[in-house]
Amino acid sequence: MAHGTHDSDWFAVRKPLPEKRSRVLSVLAFVLPLGLWSLVSYVPFIWHPLVQVENPGSVDYFVKDMLIEKEVFAKENATALVKHAALATGHPKNPIYLPAPHEVARAMYTAFRTPPRLPSEPWLHQSLWQSIQVIFWGFFLSSLVGVPLGILGGTFDIFAKLQEPFIEFFRYLPAPAFGALCVAVLGIYDAPKIAIIFIGTFFQQVLVVSNTTRKLEIPMIEAAQTLGANRRQLIFRVVVPGVIVDLYTDMRILLGWAWTYLIVAEMVGTTSGITYFINQQARYRNYENVYAAIILIGVIGLTSDIALARFGRVLFPWRAEARKSVFRAWFRERKAARAARAATEGAPA
């Protein structure tokens, strides 16, 4: 009864689960959707609305490997049966736009090895690199202006009052709405795409940074004032270092938002980057390549975020213990277990 709520409860309100369970769940978070996808792909009776023809039999318009709707296939075979003609054979298949996991996995490798169909088209890695550059410049330019403005707005009320009403209005305007304008002003290559990322990021960024800056406790500022800090010193020696950790987290989240504008941005002017790759592959009906490219965007986003989080722990040592990595905890546990085993094995000898 007493131990009931502590260790064995999977649904304890606002209580962290033990590390082992958290690990299992984070693996499940990926395994479950993958399992669902596999189920739909590999178990024929769940969906598989089409039939891939193996032997056309007596049906004159059937061709080998043709995809036919299940009902049509059954009807033609029923007609053939009545006529005592040869029956067509085939096996159930999902539509071409839903490839199986192993096909996408294979595509993730082959897409990088397959040369483009036309010599003027970029390889996949070139498309990706172009996308990353567009994201980088859009986000970098936005941060270059947005972060200082945000810090000013969070520090001085005059800046907050002057910039926030307009920004609040502007942030409701969807960035893609400026696509045509951006092309008119900046041409059709990378500049308008960078501009779309900028517009999508900048206004949120100023507000988020202002808000974070305002969260610095006022006594911290007052303490610095009684220690003789002047206005400039307050900003650069107290406000900025005081909020930098939270700003870093904000920037990671905002970078994630910038990625969500990528596809729209790349459709402005001449389609480019990963969007061009995705569109081309869809046109060739290589849907496994389309999925591979979409998944690659997620992989790049997630790994860069994890890398930045790690880097943050190096940058801000005073927060080093605030959040511990699941993996590091796991390694520590393993090491301790090994040490314990070594000790017990060593003891009798």
Q: Which is nearer to other proteins, 181 or 220 (CB)?
A: 220
Distance CA 253, CA 305 (A): 9
Least spacing, CB of residue 237 vs other proteins, in Å:
8
- Residue 105 found at the interface with other proteins (CB under 8 A): no
Angle at 302 between CA 33 and CA 21, to 5 degrees: 55
- Given candidates 241, 323, 326, 333, which one binds other proteins under the rule CB under 8 A? 241
Strands 89-93 and 50-55: what pairing? Answer: antiparallel
Q: Which of 229, 300, 308, 329 binds other proteins (CB under 8 A)?
A: 229
Please report, for residues 74, 147, 201, 281, 339, the alpha-carbon distance to residue 142 in angstroms, rounded to integers and kept in the order given.
59, 8, 7, 32, 50
Residue 90's closest CA among 113, 115, 118, 57?
A: 57
Q: For tokens 């064995």, name the residue.
A: 8
312-331 positions binding other proteins, by CB under 8 A: 316-318, 321
Contact range with other proteins by CB under 8 A, out of 125-133, 146-154, 235-243, 248-256: 235-243
Q: Give the H or E element holding residue 69.
A: strand 67-69
Q: Which two tokens stand for residue 228?
A: 């003789």
CB nearer to other proteins: give 68 or 216: 216
Task: Find the binder of other proteins among 22, 55, 114, 230 (CB under 8 A).
Answer: 230
Nearer residue to other proteins within complex by CB, 238 or 262: 238
Among residues 72, 222, 299, 338, which is the contact residue for other proteins, using CB under 8 A?
222
Candidate ranges 31-39, 78-86, 239-247, 268-276; the one touching other proteins (CB under 8 A): 239-247
Nearer to other proteins, 105 or 229 (CB): 229
Considering the complex, what minimum distance in angstroms separates the CB of residue 325 from other proteins? 18
CB-wise, 65 or 321, nearer to other proteins? 321
CA distances 270 to 22, 107, 193, 197, 279, Å, are: 45, 26, 10, 16, 12
Contact residue for other proteins among 99, 192, 200, 242 (CB under 8 A): 242
Rounded-to-10 torsion of CA 279, 285, 288, 291: 30
Residue 171 has phi, psi (to 5 degrees) of: -70, -10
**Which residues are near other proteins by CB under 8 A?**
217, 219-220, 222-230, 233, 237-238, 241-242, 244-245, 316-318, 321
